[in-house]
């Protein structure tokens, strides 16, 4: 096997002695051969199984020739929009065009189209009329059946219908892509590959579809929001690899999209094998002159230790993509990769992260999950930790100790999110102690998201009292260790269930802490989340209860401004919000007030409190609280959710 990047040109193919690729992978991201990038994992797995794979990254979708640079593949095309949904990549929640694309050389925006997966597939189909197309990646995975699309404001078809692709490989795809390749290589027609777990196919007849749960038709969910919510929740209840049923979604003209049950989780050995593949661990050298690929900077010195998440946050799509069953790599696999990091010429002694979707999950939530699956109608941590939950950090602690002991390693950070309710559920406090002693650099970022229990309930997050308890224990542990370290909370505005009343409640909480966040995440309705279903339908699909949804851009701006009420630029919005919420009592000169009233005949504002200095904790004011002084704003460093 040649230790090199996969071919990106005919010249590269000739160097390998290839006349034709078996598969050509078309991707919306730049080609980065690193296991944090989905295209690298899938192509290297196929290579390990003996298939010849070529890469076309960011083709010019306006030019048919761009899709033909490697010639026609023997078996088919693989298509992914990239590591992010192309619409999230392109637009902020306010639908403004972003200025930077971290997955493109030089961070240049505009190198991929909107709805990239659909556009690429249609481009391929215009050149190669009959060649099989298999869709994968996050964009296809979360749009595999009919879905509400925030950017167009419409309910869109299954991506299979609009793209003209033949199959969707949903989820992480390592199992299904090999089975698909082997089936195609054996001579099976792509239309007959209807039996592989973790795939969605389309058909014009139901006589071969057995044991399927029939969903409402596309026409029904497009016009009836209640039907949409019911359909979505049926899908949500069938995301588990052990208990999930086959689903069938009817369209007009005798067309059906059929979703097979999810692929089984990878074993630890299988996870190890994935990360032991011969990645080059860097972007393709052709990008160096263009400024490199910024996205590699976030992951180059980080380690993935798990995948899957039983946290079950309503606004997160992980349940649909990676599933709720946690899968892990062995200590040996992770330590071996860490040793590779230490040999990089620009390694400075710091491992930036040892994490995953949730860093401190190293096991499935309970013993039965790997044989019976996750409970379809219950959550592991919400509203309270399940009685069967195994909350144990011993294995994670042992792993972190091994990494800290490596030569050349000065510090091992944990920058992926940790579930503070899971930390509290562990009666042994060794993890909290070691976290504070060794793995925090002054600030620990956590995600309470809100403090109003009405909103937290819709988010699938624990009650505010749980976060308050964690802040107390975190503060006490740091005091015991003689450390001055702070919590930096991620907060979200305008989530379904949040009225101006709850937004004001959050502002009052921040007032009492003396803390103004530098960044606020406005709720972003991305495909295939419970929260997006609530946003579109006004119903909680779990209970079918009506939910208040802030959809008016001006109200959303007011809710966001309340979280940063100390910023003088937000004065008008904050004042309007307080008046609308009937909270004029918070406009005044007392310490409990958020803003001061306007004064003067010219309508000039009186002096208002200045925003806290960036990176410095403010002295809390108002009534003393046990949780005060535990937060400190970040020093201009951007976090990611």
Identify the domain boundary among 197, 224, 242.
Answer: 197
User: Which pTM value belongs to this model?
Assistant: 0.91
Establish if 400 belongs to a structural domain.
no
Cα 577 to chain centroid distance, Å, stands at 31
Give yes or no for residue 635 having a pLDDT over 50.
Answer: no
- 562 Cβ contact partners less than 8 Å away, ≥ 6 residues apart: 493, 500, 503, 504, 506, 507, 573, 574, 577, 594
**What pairs with residue 248 in β-bridges?**
214, 258
Q: Is pLDDT above 50 for 321?
A: yes
C-alpha 97/C-alpha 106 separation (Å) is 17
H, E, C per residue of 228-285: HHHHHHHHHCCCCCCCCCEEEEEECCCEEEEECCCCCCCCHHHHHHHHCCCCCCEECH
Measure the CA–CA gap between 266 and 288, rounded to whole angstroms.
35
Q: Is the peptide bond before 383 cis (omega within 30 degrees of 0)?
A: yes
CA atoms 233, 234, 237, 239: torsion sign: negative
Give the Cα separation of 399 and 576 in Å (integer): 51
> Is residue 634 pLDDT above 50, yes or no?
no
Residue 623 has pLDDT above 60, yes or no: no
Q: What percent of the chain has pLDDT over 90?
A: 89
User: Is 416 among the domain residues?
Assistant: no
Of 197, 212, 227, which closes a domain? 197
- Looking at residue 53, its pLDDT comes to 98
Per-residue model confidence (pLDDT) at position 336:
98
The least confident of 88-102, 457-471, 556-570, 611-625 is: 611-625
CA distance linking residue 423 with residue 432, whole number of Å = 7
Confidence category of residue 519, pLDDT binned at 50, 70, 90: confident
Q: What is the DSSP letter of 35?
A: T
Please tell me the predicted confidence (pLDDT) of residue 633. 35
- Is residue 272 in some structural domain? no
Residue 622 — very low, low, confident or very high, per pLDDT cuts 50/70/90? very low
The confidence score (pLDDT) of residue 252 equals 85
What's the DSSP call for residue 605?
A: B
Local structure of 420: helix, strand or coil: helix
Please give the sequence-ordered ranges of beta strands (E in DSSP) within 335-378, or none if there are none.
Answer: 350-351, 353-355
Distance CA 506, CA 526 (A): 24
pLDDT value at position 516? 84
Provide the number of structural domains found in the chain.
2
Which residue, among 616, 450, 444, has the nearest Cα to 521 in the 3D structure? 450
Most confident of 2-11, 189-198, 484-493: 189-198
Q: End-to-end distance of the chain based on CA atoms, in angstroms?
A: 38
Q: Residue 622: which domain range?
A: 442-641
Whole-number percent of the chain with pLDDT over 70: 93
Reduced to 3 states, what is the DSSP secondary structure of residue 401? helix
Q: Is the pLDDT of residue 615 over 70?
A: no
Ramachandran angles phi, psi of 327, nearest 5° = -120, 140
Q: Are 75 and 184 in contact (CB under 8 A)?
A: yes
Residue 256 located in a structural domain:
no
Please identify, among 155, 181, 197, the residue that sits at the C-terminal boundary of a domain: 197
Which CATH number is 471's domain given? Answer: 3.30.750.200
What are the backbone angles phi and psi of residue 257, rounded to the nearest 5°?
Answer: -100, 125
**Closest by alpha carbon to 391, among 427, 354, 367, 416?**
427
Categorize the per-residue pLDDT at 322 as very low, low, confident or very high, splitting at 50, 70 and 90. Answer: very high
Residue 508 falls within a domain, yes or no?
Answer: yes
User: Does the residue 458 lie in any domain?
Assistant: yes
The reported pLDDT for the residue numbered 619 is 36
Average pLDDT rounded to a whole number, residues 536-548: 98
Write down the pLDDT at residue 618. 35
Give mean pLDDT, residues 588-608.
71
> How many Cα neighbours within 13 Å face the side chain of 550?
23
The neighbour count for residue 396, using CB atoms within 10 Å, is: 23
| Higher per-residue confidence, 598 vs 324 | 324
**What rounded mean pLDDT belongs to the chain?**
92
Average pLDDT score over residue span 466-491: 95
> Domain holding 187: CATH number?
3.40.50.280
Give the pLDDT score at 1. 56
pLDDT digits (tens, 9 = 90+) for 414-473: 999 899 999 999 999 999 999 999 999 889 989 999 999 999 999 999 999 999 999 999
- Cα–Cα distance between 58 and 106 in angstroms, integer? 13
Convert the pLDDT of each residue in 249-281 to its tens digit.
999 878 999 999 999 999 999 999 999 999 999
The pLDDT of residue 218: 97
User: Nearest 5°: phi and psi at 354?
Assistant: -130, 90
Residue 488 lies in a domain: yes
Beta strand segments in 252-376, E? 255-259, 282-283, 302-304, 306-307, 327-328, 350-351, 353-355
Task: Please report the sign of the dihedral spanned by the C-alpha atoms of residue 545, residue 551, residue 554, residue 557.
Answer: positive
- Who wins on pLDDT, 628 or 238? 238
Q: Mention every residue, 6+ apart, whose C-beta is less than 8 A from residue 442.
A: 484, 485, 486, 632
The arithmetic mean of pLDDT across residues 86-95, rounded, is 97
Segment 528-546 mean pLDDT: 98
Tell me the average pLDDT across 187-192.
97
CB 128 within 8 A of CB 72: yes
Identify the burial level of 600 via C-beta atoms within 10 angstroms of its C-beta, where 0-12 means exposed, 13-18 middle and 19 or more buried: exposed
Kindly state whether residue 206 falls inside one of the protein's structural domains: no
């Amino acid at each position: 096997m040649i230790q090199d990047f996969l071919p990106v040109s005919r010249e590269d193919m000739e160097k390998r002695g290839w006349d034709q690729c078996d598969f050509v992978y078309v991707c919306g991201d730049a080609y980065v051969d690193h296991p944090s990038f989905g295209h690298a994992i899938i192509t290297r797995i196929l290579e390990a199984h003996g298939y010849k794979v070529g890469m076309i990254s960011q083709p010019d979708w306006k030019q048919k020739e761009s899709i033909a640079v490697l010639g026609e593949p023997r078996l088919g095309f693989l298509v992914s929009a990239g590591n992010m949904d192309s619409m999230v990549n392109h637009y902020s929640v306010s639908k403004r065009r972003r200025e930077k694309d971290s997955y493109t050389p030089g961070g240049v925006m505009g190198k991929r189209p909107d709805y990239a997966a659909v556009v690429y597939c249609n481009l391929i189909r215009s050149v190669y009329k009959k060649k099989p197309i298999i869709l994968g990646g996050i964009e296809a995975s979360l749009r595999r059946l009919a879905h509400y699309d925030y950017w167009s404001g419409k309910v869109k078809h299954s991506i299979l219908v609009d793209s003209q692709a033949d199959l969707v490989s949903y989820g992480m795809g390592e199992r299904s892509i090999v089975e698909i390749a082997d089936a195609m290589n054996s001579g099976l027609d792509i239309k007959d590959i209807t039996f592989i777990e973790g795939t969605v196919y389309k058909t014009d007849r139901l006589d071969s579809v057995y044991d399927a749960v029939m969903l409402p038709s596309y026409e029904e969910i497009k016009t009836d929001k209640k039907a949409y919510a019911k359909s979505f929740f049926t899908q949500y209840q069938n995301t588990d690899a052990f208990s999930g049923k086959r689903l069938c979604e009817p369209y007009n003209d005798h067309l059906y999209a059929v979703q097979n049950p999810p692929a089984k989780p990878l074993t630890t050995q299988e996870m190890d094998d994935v990360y032991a593949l011969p990645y080059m661990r860097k972007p393709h050298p052709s990008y160096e002159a263009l400024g490199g690929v910024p996205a590699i900077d976030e992951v180059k010195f980080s380690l993935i230790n798990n995948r899957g998440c039983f946290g079950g946050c309503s606004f997160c799509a992980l349940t649909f993509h990676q599933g709720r069953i946690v899968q892990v790599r062995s200590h040996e696999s992770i330590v071996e990769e860490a040793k590779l990091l230490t040999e990089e010429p620009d390694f400075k002694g710091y491992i930036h992260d040892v994490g995953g979707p949730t860093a401190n999950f190293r096991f499935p939530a309970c013993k039965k999950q790997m044989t019976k699956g996750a409970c379809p109608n219950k959550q592991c941590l919400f509203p309270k930790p399940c009685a069967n939950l195994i909350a144990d950090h011993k294995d994670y602690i042992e792993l972190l100790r091994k990494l800290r002991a490596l030569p050349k390693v000065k510090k091992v950070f944990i920058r992926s999110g940790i579930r503070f309710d899971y930390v509290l559920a562990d009666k042994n406090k060794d993890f909290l102690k070691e976290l504070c002693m060794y793995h925090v650099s002054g600030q620990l970022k956590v995600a309470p998201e809100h403090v109003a229990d009405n909103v937290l309930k819709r988010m699938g997050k624990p009650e505010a009292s749980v976060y308050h308890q964690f802040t107390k224990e975190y503060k006490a542990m740091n005091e015991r260790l003689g450390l001055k370290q702070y919590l930096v909370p991620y907060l979200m505005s305008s989530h379904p269930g949040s009225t101006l009343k709850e937004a004001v409640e959050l502002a009052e909480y921040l007032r009492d802490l003396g803390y103004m966040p530098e960044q606020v995440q406005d709720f972003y309705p991305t495909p295939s989340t419970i929260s997006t279903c609530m946003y579109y339908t006004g119903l909680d699909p779990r209970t079918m209860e009506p939910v208040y949804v802030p959809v008016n851009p001006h109200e959303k701006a007011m809710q966001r401004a309340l979280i940063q009420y100390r910023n003088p630029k937000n004065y008008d919005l904050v004042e309007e919000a307080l008046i609308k919420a009937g909270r004029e009592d918070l406009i005044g000169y007392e310490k409990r007030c958020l803003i001061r009233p306007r004064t003067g005949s010219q309508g000039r504002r009186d002096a208002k409190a200045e925003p806290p200095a960036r990176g410095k904790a403010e002295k809390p004011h108002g009534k003393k609280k046990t949780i005060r002084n535990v937060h400190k704003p970040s020093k201009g460093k951007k976090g990611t959710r």
